[in-house]
Amino acid sequence: MPDPFNKFRGTGVAIITPFTKSGTIDFPAYGRIIDFVIAGGVEYIVALGTTGETPTLSGQEKKALIEYSIGKIRKRIPLVIGTGGNNTSEVVSAVKALSPEGIDAILSVSPYYNKPTQEGIYRHFKAVAEASVIPLILYNVPGRTGINLAATTTVRLAKEFSTIIGIKEASGNLDQIYQIVKNRPPGFLVISGDDGLTIPMLSVGADGIISVVANAYPEEFSAMVRLALKGDFIRAREFHFLLIDLINALFADGSPGGIKAVMNKKSLCSDILRLPLVPVKNDTKKLIYKLIDQIEGKK
């Protein structure tokens, strides 16, 4: 398989963006989290994704986070940068502005709000792929974008553009995912976008996960994925069942409020979010803390 396939096979972590009490980016905490997940054994880091609260970041902050991430990671593991939107020309300009030095791939979400047709989505990603010198991973998350990236469109893009190396699939539609795995060209990555569906997806040939819970439990979650990729689902299920209740609780009041509550409990950063997002409700936080104590007691 080509190098990009092997580079992104396994566990990526959709890293959070921690904030200080004054609302600025907490770079020391961000650096601690980078070191923590690398030490935990994840295969790569995804910065400026949904979990990183990217819609609330200014252009200057995004640039600072990219530069900091490159400098902090120091090529210890690959770095993926999220760059997407619903204005194709702006996405193309943003992609052209990225330097391949220190950036291993781009994660680009399907256009949202506009609700384009499948042909519109195809032409959007065609323009982005033709503009980028950095490998591109598509991101399908219809629960957020309002429109699904159909399996036929994904496979069409995968076959026509060598720059497009994979897709993060967060549709929750297992039949759609099966069709992509079945019909994709060799070397095209199918990556889970749902922590809880990682095991089912890997069982039919998917290649890994871009995870939320791996911010807090990188060692356990990446071990689960490696076991599943080797076909050892009996041992992989032990990690799945260790974490699944917490995974479900993380999204009870929206993401990344849940994972920030976990990270705060583990003293890795604060649980401050930027509006319009707010911290999880007290009842949810109590549940999350209870589940963390249960996990720690079983480790």
Q: pLDDT tens across 107-145, in order? A: 999 999 999 999 999 999 999 999 999 999 999 999 999
Hey, is 87 helix, strand or coil?
coil
Our answer to whether residue 298 is catalytic in this structure is no
- Identify the pLDDT of residue 29: 98
pLDDT in tens, 57-77: 999 999 999 999 999 999 999
Number of structural domains the chain divides into: 1
The residue-averaged pLDDT of 253-261 equals 96
- List the one residue out of 223, 219, 184, 227 whose CA is nearest residue 202: 227
pLDDT in tens, 70-104: 999 999 999 999 999 999 999 999 999 999 999 99
**Average pLDDT along the chain:** 96
Percent of the chain with pLDDT strictly greater than 70: 98
> What token pair was written down for 198?
């990682």
CB 30 within 8 A of CB 68: yes
What range does the domain containing 57 cover?
3-230
- Identify the pLDDT of residue 298: 83
Our answer to whether residue 168 is catalytic in this structure is yes
198 Cβ neighbours under 8 A, 6+ residues apart:
192, 206, 209, 211, 224, 225, 228, 240
Of the listed 168, 217, 260, 285, which one is catalytic? 168
Q: Is residue 48 part of a domain?
A: yes
CB 43 within 8 A of CB 78: yes
Q: Is the dihedral of CA 197, 199, 200, 206 positive or negative?
A: positive
Q: Is residue 271 part of a domain?
A: no
Q: Is residue 258 part of a domain?
A: no
The residue ranking higher by pLDDT, 298 or 277, is: 277
Q: Is residue 193 part of a domain?
A: yes
Query: pLDDT category, 4, cuts 50, 70, 90?
Result: low
Q: Judge whether residue 3 has pLDDT over 80.
A: no
pLDDT in tens, 261-271: 999 999 999 99
CB 12 within 8 A of CB 43: yes
- Identify the pLDDT of residue 43: 98
Q: Judge whether residue 15 has pLDDT over 90.
A: yes
Q: Is residue 16 part of a domain?
A: yes
- Identify the pLDDT of residue 11: 98
Query: pLDDT category, 297, cuts 50, 70, 90?
Result: confident
- Identify the pLDDT of residue 6: 84
Q: Is residue 254 part of a domain?
A: no
The residue ranking higher by pLDDT, 99 or 33, is: 33
- Identify the pLDDT of residue 186: 95
Of the listed 139, 217, 260, 285, which one is catalytic? 139
CB 106 within 8 A of CB 100: no
C-alpha R_g of the chain: 18
Q: Is residue 91 part of a domain?
A: yes
Percent of the chain with pLDDT strictly greater than 90: 96
Give the CATH number of the domain where residue 11 resides: 3.20.20.70
Q: Is residue 103 part of a domain?
A: yes
| Cα 60 from Cα 247, distance rounded (Å) | 32
The answer to whether the predicted template modeling score (pTM) of the entire model surpasses 0.85 is yes
